[in-house]
Amino acid sequence: MASFQNMAAFVAVAEQGSFSQAGRELRVSTAVVSARIAKLEADIGVRLLNRTTRQVSLTEEARGYYQDCKDILQQVEQAEAALSSRQNNPSGSLKIAVPVVFGRRYVAPLLPGFVGRYPDIDIRLHLADSFVDILKEGMDVAIRIASLRDSTLMARKLADSPRVICAAPSYLDRFGTPQVPADLLQHQCLLLRFPGSVQFQWRFQENGNRITLPVQGRLDSNNGDVIRDWALAGHGICMKSRWEVARELASGELVELLPETPPLPVGVYALYSPAATLPPRIRLFIDYLVEAFKPGIG
C-alpha cells in the first residue's frame, strides 16, 4: 500500500515540475523525493513520471492518480486538523500570500510572534503584488487590499486602508495642481496594473455622490514601490494607501492632493478557502491578524 509521504512527494513533483522544487516545498532533499517516488512506483506497479534532463511530466496513467492522491491527502489533512483542534495543538504548514510592501511592513513582523505562540506551525510567506489564485497555487490565506468583488472564497476584514492622491512638488510646478477630481483626467496618472486590477479607475466621493474616473498615464507597473518612486521623481500623480506614503507626505517629498474629496478607502482582507472544516492553523492565524490590526493601519 502506498504511504501518504510517498503520495505527498508525487503530488509535489507533479505541481512543481521538478524534484528539486518539490524537495524545497516539502523541506527534504532531492534524493529523498526521488526515493519516495521510486518506492511509490514500485508499490503500485505503474510508472508515474516521465523524466528528462530538462523537465518532469506525468505519464498518461498518472493523471487521474494525481487527483486521487491530492484528494486523499486533503482528507488526511482535514482529519488531522480536526484531531489537532480537539487536542488544542495546531500544527502543519501555513502558506500565506501577501502584497510585497504591506507584507514586509505589516505582516512579516507579526509572524515570529505567531509561531512562538504555536511552535508546531511552519510559516511559508509568499510576497507578490500580482494576483494570486490561492486555490490553484495551494495557498492557505491571501491578504488583499482591495474593494472585493463576488468570490467563491471566504473573506474576513482586518482593517480599513484610507487612500490618498499625491504628487511631487516638481510635477505640480510644471503641470499645475488639480482642484477637483475630474482635473485628474488632464494629468499623467501613475497606474498600478495587474490581472484583475481596477486601480486605473479611481473612485471618489464628491458632493455626496460616488464618481469613477478612467484616469490615464504613460507609465504603469505591477509594483507599488515603483509607482511611489515615479511619483517622487516627478513623473506623475499616484493614488496610494496613506500608510505607504505617510513618511513622504510628512517630509514634503509628496504633496496630498484633493484632501476635501479623497479617493474611497479600501479594506484589508484575509481570504481563504470555504472548506467545511477550516484547519485550526488557518482559523488561529486569521484571529491573530484581526487582533493585531485592531488599532488600525498607520
- pLDDT for 221-270, tens place per residue? 988 889 999 999 999 999 999 999 999 999 999 999 999 999 998 899 99
14 closest CA partner among 77, 78, 67: 67
Query: Residue 214: which H helix or E strand, with range?
Result: none
Q: Over range 161-183, report the average pLDDT.
A: 96
Q: Is the pLDDT of residue 46 over 80?
A: yes
- More confident call, 77 vs 22: 22
How far, in whole angstroms, is CA 286 from its chain's centroid?
A: 14
- More confident call, 131 vs 178: 178
Q: For the chain, what is the mean pLDDT?
A: 87
Block residue for cell numbers 463576488: 150
Q: Is the pLDDT of residue 104 over 80?
A: yes
The predicted pLDDT at position 73 comes to 87
How far, in whole angstroms, is CA 115 from its chain's centroid?
A: 19
The predicted pLDDT at position 258 comes to 95
Q: Is the pLDDT of residue 132 over 80?
A: no
Angle at 111 between CA 138 and CA 285, to 5 degrees: 60
Q: Is the pLDDT of residue 151 over 70?
A: no
- More confident call, 290 vs 79: 290
Q: Is the pLDDT of residue 20 over 80?
A: yes
Q: Is the pLDDT of residue 52 over 90?
A: no
What torsion, rounded to 10 degrees, do the Cα atoms 120, 86, 12, 123 define? -30
The span from the CA of 263 to the CA of 244, in Å, is: 15
Q: Over range 171-199, report the average pLDDT.
A: 87
The predicted pLDDT at position 154 comes to 87
Cell numbers describing residue 260: 476635501
Cell numbers describing residue 44: 503500485
Q: How confident is the model at residue 110 (pLDDT cuts 50, 70, 90)?
A: very high
Cell numbers describing residue 200: 486605473
Residue spans of alpha helices (H) in 88-127: 100-102, 111-117
Positive or negative torsion for Cα 83, 86, 89, 90 = positive
Other C-beta atoms lying within 10 Å of the C-beta of residue 236: 21
The span from the CA of 33 to the CA of 158, in Å, is: 38
Q: Of 80-84, 142-146, 169-173, 189-193, give the lowest mean pLDDT range.
A: 80-84
Three-class DSSP category at 189: strand
The predicted pLDDT at position 200 comes to 79
The span from the CA of 126 to the CA of 226, in Å, is: 19
Question: CB of 199 within 8 A of CB of 216?
Answer: no
Q: What is the pTM of this model?
A: 0.66
The predicted pLDDT at position 167 comes to 98
Q: Is the pLDDT of residue 219 over 60?
A: yes
Q: Over range 75-86, report the average pLDDT.
A: 69
Q: Over range 11-19, report the average pLDDT.
A: 88
Q: Over range 157-185, report the average pLDDT.
A: 95
